[in-house]
Structure 1
């Protein structure tokens, strides 16, 4: 290089070594400082050659009477290389044998005022995955820390006791991981796992997979159920399970959900279900539905509700029934109807009321009105009210109490009063005798 080329060189260089041999910055700072010192140990060194056996690595001495005054300082021995030769009796006549036994040494010196550290030796590497078994305390099924890490036991570890002291905490790779969200499935004690090492570092193992083998069998028999995909758990210290299963066999496609205990769903907005064929809902005990606003139920054909005991309906405001055809009610026992105010009953045709035993009507005021005719019939007579007047027809008519009348009915009144005085039946000929009783 010439002078102009050197002007364009960088004046600050760094040595970048990845990965560092630490996990936290507060630990890495002093460690990096030590490595930097080791890298700078050859910034000023001296090489010497001689045969003074007193030179030993780590010892220091003061150099004096050297022609260069700047080298007459305190030096420390960093390394010594020894070389020597001694000929055997068979080699005494060989070339160079006349030199006899010889010894030389080459030493590397550093100034004593400089802190000298050797470079760190290469760290061991582990390439490729290892198999291990998840372990933990006796009596536990799941053993982890706050990060979801677990303990493992390697098959080549002959001193492992298959407990919580068999290894360090080992990280577990999940299918989805984020800050407070993601997927989580903690490997359980006894599961076989696949372990790989981050950057081949033996101090950074990580579980990257899990596998079935030995007594760790798949949830369903294979290859019989090879079309079945499932996420199936196991109850902690129990025999139950939760499961989400997919069946992809042609003609048997199915999505199956099993909750060992409770199933809870929270939907912040809309929910929609579409069923192409039948739908069956079976509840072992109680069922409760709370709807904040309106509810609509539309049935294309028939609907049947069967309540085996009591049925209660509370309506805070109005109830409207619209029936397009006939309505039939059958009540096996009593029927009680309580109305807070008025009742209006409008019938376009004929109303028939039949009481097999008796009918009682109790009210402060009762009005019976027929716009054309009122016909009251009993076992021995009838009363007819129509446009022609009032017709009473019976074998005997008896009056008790005072009778008030208005003219011109003198003859009939006299007969009625006589019957009242004598206590005899009132017998008068009806002018309508012989006509139709209708």
Structure 2
């Protein structure tokens, strides 16, 4: 069967048994109309064991070559099979669409490289489980956006290092809680500002020491109370000044208080200054000083010294 539109083309090889026919029964117009199998040139298929098969095959050229290109149709009930074997390369060219439907399993093994080039859209829909295992590196290069939607849980296990590099902005939204456990150290380097907005409570538990180094100012603003508690001591050091400013009242309570200065101590009060030790008091107002000790009271003002309930002695 042959024409300029379709046909089957096969050239017999040296050693093949062929059938010679004559065009228009003219002995001067011979042509090979077919070829036959014989004892010395048997069928590639093992007959009669494979008598259920229809096969199209072609061996590699060369007397000692064993390679073969083969297309075999097996037709045993419930074992029907189409077998295709390419001795070396296999090329497919499809000018338009390609549709493939596999109603059961598919197993594909590539022992070398696998390259896939898609000019437009690539879509995969997996109704069950997808398991990807990469023995070496796994590289993904996305020129534009990448969106990942996970309906349930998302777990990422990394055996060694994890690096994330974002050239511009990074945003994270968590609808519930977030828990982070770090077995080693945490180092943060922020070249701009850092702003934290906590609508509830904020607690920090540190088992070791806590150190802050600030090159400029620290401003702490509290809408209500500010409490600092130390089981041992609190030290406040300044190279220049320490100021305590309260619009109402300042209270200092301790078992003992020591104030030491290398220069002056100045106490300025708009109304009065009271010093009390047990039942003994010293009161200084804008115009007098009152000293009370036991039942004795001494008053010193611009008029002089007045002593009540006692006497003035000189030794």
Partner of 2:247: 408
Deviation of 1:361 (Å): 1.3
Indicate the residue corresponding to 2:19 in structure 1.
194
What is the RMSD computed on CA atoms of the aligned residues? 2.9
Partners of 2:12 and 2:259 in 1: CA distance = 109
Question: 2:61 maps to what in 1?
Answer: 236
Does residue 208 (structure 1) correspond to residue 33 (structure 2)? The answer is: yes
Q: Does 1:327 align with 2:115?
A: no
Say whether 1:185 aligns with 2:13. no
The residue aligned with 1:373 is 201
How far is 1:294 from its partner?
A: 0.9
1:255 aligns with 2:119: no
Cross-structure match for 2:134: 307
* Distance (whole Å) between structure 1 residues aligned to residue 168 and residue 91 of structure 2: 45
Partners of 2:261 and 2:173 in 1: CA distance: 47
Aligned pairs, how many? 243
User: Is the 8 Å Cα contact of residues 247 and 255 (structure 1) preserved in structure 2?
Assistant: yes
* Residue aligning to 2:271: none
- Alpha-carbon distance in 2 for matches of 1:312, 1:397: 55
Partner of 1:394: 230
Once the two structures are TM-superposed, the CA of residue 405 in structure 1 deviates from its matched residue by: 5.9
Residues 400 and 420, structure 1, Cα contact 8 Å, conserved in 2: no
Q: Deviations over 1:85-113 (max 9, x none)?
A: xxxxxxxxxxxxxxxxxxxxxxxxxxxxx
In structure 1, C-alpha distance between the alignment counterparts of 2:109 and 2:41, rounded to whole Å: 35
* CA distance, structure 2, for counterparts of residue 368 and residue 275 of structure 1: 55
Identify unmatched segments of 5+ residues in structure 2: 211-220, 263-315
Q: What are the Cα deviations for residues 48-77 of structure 1, in whole angstroms up to 9, with x where unaligned?
A: xxxxxxxxxxxxxxxxxxxxxxxxxxxxxx
**Residues 380 and 265 of structure 1, relative CA distance in 2, 3 Å threshold:** closer
Alpha-carbon distance in 2 for matches of 1:271, 1:404: 83
Q: Provide the residue aligned with 1:340 in structure 2.
A: 167
**1:389 Cα deviation after fit:** 4.2
* Local SS of the residue matching 1:378: coil
Residues 251-290 of structure 1: matches in 2 within 5 Å?
251-290=78-117
The C-alpha deviation readout for 1:157-201, integer Å capped at 9, x for no partner, is: xxxxxxxxxxxxxxxxxx33316x643211111111111111111
Distance between the aligned counterparts of 1:209 and 1:197, measured in 2?
12
Within 1, Cα distance between the matches of 2:12 and 2:124?
A: 47
Among candidates 52, 71, 77, match of residue 227 of structure 1: 52
- Structure number with the bigger relative contact order (C-alpha 8 A, sep ≥ 6) is 1
Alpha-carbon distance in 2 for matches of 1:227, 1:420: 113
- Could you tell me the TM-score, scaled by structure 1's length? 0.51
> How many angstroms apart in 1 are the aligned matches of 2:104 and 2:42?
37
Deviation at 1:300, TM superposition (A): 1.2
Question: How far did residue 368 of structure 1 move?
Answer: 1.8
Deviations 1:230-276 (A, max 9, x none): 11101112220101110001121000010011111011111111111
As a proportion of its length, which structure holds more helix?
A: 1
**Any residues of structure 2 matched to 1:116-195 within 5 Å, and which?**
175-178=1-4, 182-195=7-20
Structure 2 CA distance for partners of 1:248 and 1:380, relative to 1, 3 Å: closer
For the residues of structure 1 that align with 2:250 and 2:106, how far apart are their CA atoms? 81
Looking at structure 2, the residues matched to 247 and 305 of structure 1 have their Cα atoms a distance apart, in angstroms, of 34
Higher gyration radius (CA): 1
Q: Aligned partners of 1:185 and 1:419: how far apart in 2?
A: 115
Residue 361 of structure 1: which of 188, 197, 202 is its match?
A: 188
TM-score, length of structure 2 as denominator length: 0.70
TM-aligned CA deviation for residue 355 of structure 1:
1.0
Range 213-222 or range 266-275, more displaced? 213-222
Residue aligned with 1:376, SS: coil
- Give me the whole-angstrom Cα distance separating, in 2, the residues matched to 1:296 and 1:245: 33
> C-alpha displacement at 1:381, in angstroms?
9.1
Structure 1 gap ranges (5+): 1-174, 423-438
